[in-house]
Amino acid sequence: MNERCILGRKEVVMSEAIKQIVSEFEKPVIDIPSDIMIAIQSSRLDLSQNIPEPQMLVSKENLPVCTRGNFSFVIGLPGARKSFLCSGIAGAFLNENGCMGLDNPNGSGKLLWIDTEQAPGHVAKIGRRLHRIAGLTTNINSDNIIIHMLREYQPP
């Protein structure tokens, strides 16, 4: 049996086969648990709210490289010079004058460095470099530069 629908000014006749096809594109009814629905609703971005820009920790001129309250990860192939890039970014954060052409607009802070790839000797070299950039002694640990070596904890 055909059903008649009015779309704009044209009358469209829909067969049962067409209705079946159209029904496949209708929104499914899903029973979402209330706690998940509350999380979905409360996490939705509301652009009518005045949301401040995050504080820049490292920048290149006025473009943010790292901002407060965010995690930053650098991922790439082994030997791609990720640690060198990260030490430059971290150095800019640790030194109020910046480092490697990067700026420090808001003063230094506390750094957590996690290395998952390199041997302890290479990580120590990075640690000393970071201490040197920050103007700290290179043979004493600093409370502001925390370094962890996780290479030995790689999954099989």
Is 73 found in the same domain as 33? no
pLDDT tens, residue by residue, 21-67: 877 777 766 788 999 989 999 999 999 999 998 999 999 998 999 99
Is 137 found in the same domain as 77? yes
Is 119 found in the same domain as 141? yes
* Assigned domain for 94 exists: yes
* Assigned domain for 18 exists: yes
For the range 98-103, what are the long-range contacts, defined as Cβ-Cβ under 8 Å and sequence gap of 24 or more? 98/58, 99/133, 101/60, 102/58, 102/59, 102/60, 102/65, 103/58, 103/59, 103/60, 103/61
pLDDT tens, residue by residue, 60-75: 998 999 998 888 788 8
Is 68 found in the same domain as 10? no
Q: Is the pLDDT of residue 12 over 80?
A: no
Query: Encoding tokens for residue 44?
Result: 């939705």
Give the separation between CA 72 and CA 74, rounded to whole angstroms: 7
Is 132 found in the same domain as 75? yes
* Assigned domain for 48 exists: no
pLDDT tens, residue by residue, 65-105: 999 888 878 889 988 998 899 999 999 999 989 999 999 99
* Assigned domain for 144 exists: yes
- The residue to which tokens 């209330």 are assigned: 34
* Assigned domain for 47 exists: no
Is 136 found in the same domain as 92? yes
What is the largest distance, in Å, between two alpha-carbon atoms of the chain?
86
Is 148 found in the same domain as 123? yes
Domain hosting residue 91, numbered range: 56-153
Is 105 found in the same domain as 32? no
**In degrees rounded to 5, what are phi and psi of residue 21?**
-65, -45
Is 93 found in the same domain as 26? no
* Assigned domain for 49 exists: no
* Assigned domain for 125 exists: yes
Is 76 found in the same domain as 119? yes
Is 111 found in the same domain as 72? yes
Contact present, 111 and 124 (Cβ < 8 Å):
no
For the range 73-80, what are the long-range contacts, defined as Cβ-Cβ under 8 Å and sequence gap of 24 or more? 78/117
* Domain count within the chain: 2
- Secondary structure element (H or E) that encloses residue 82, with its range: helix 82-94
* Assigned domain for 85 exists: yes
pLDDT tens, residue by residue, 103-152: 999 887 899 999 988 899 999 999 999 999 999 999 999 999 999 999 99
Contact present, 104 and 92 (Cβ < 8 Å):
yes
Is 64 found in the same domain as 125? yes
